[in-house]
Amino acid sequence: MAAANGNVIPFGHGKVQAKSGTTIAKKCVLTIRDYLCNLLTLTNVIYDAMKKAPRISETEWEVMKVVWAKGPCSAGEIIETLASADPTWHPKTIKTFLNRLARKKALGFRKEGRAYLYRPLVRENECVDAASESFLERVFGGSLKPMLAHFVERKKLSAEEIRELRELLKNQR
């Protein structure tokens, strides 16, 4: 953007020839500064909203795992991978999930010839973090201690797992 030093400054629907020190030049610079500040704020809000991992259903997780593992891949590759692991998967069902995940901004896609190539727009660890936080909040009121106690009481831990948990807790200090 041009400063108010005689340069042409975009203003409204046209341009104004501004001379340094004039009222119109000061108003234009202030308007441009406010506009840029608001634009930057809006951009940050949009970026933060995009960074937030979308809520993904259990079945959508299966589709996302394939895309995370393979990277950019076609719908055909995703269908083949899922159907080979579980023959109950139907191609139309998988395509429906791909469309849902694209609408949720979990997947991006581009058309290459007649095929669509899908790629993850969110990282797996971001989705794991979001799902873990959601689970912790919903089931244990956000408290980690009762959750940990629940799983430790119900699962048989090996000596190695106990040692690893102790090490993790020790490193939290």
Output the tens digit of pLDDT for each of the chain's 173 residues. 444 444 444 444 444 444 555 444 444 444 555 544 444 444 444 344 445 788 899 999 999 999 999 989 999 999 999 999 999 999 999 999 999 999 999 999 999 998 899 999 999 999 999 999 999 999 999 998 999 889 888 988 899 998 998 998 889 87
Neighbours of 12 (CB within 10 A): 8
User: How is residue 161 written in tokens?
Assistant: 């797992």
Q: What are phi and psi of 73, to 5 degrees?
A: -150, 160
Q: What are phi and psi of 124, to 5 degrees?
A: -60, -45
Residue 160 within a domain:
yes
Residue 67 within a domain:
yes
**pLDDT on residue 4:** 45
Q: How many domains does the chain have?
A: 3
**pLDDT on residue 43:** 43
User: How is residue 21 written in tokens?
Assistant: 């020190």
Handedness of CA 70, 76, 78, 80 (dihedral sign): negative
Range of the domain at 161: 143-173
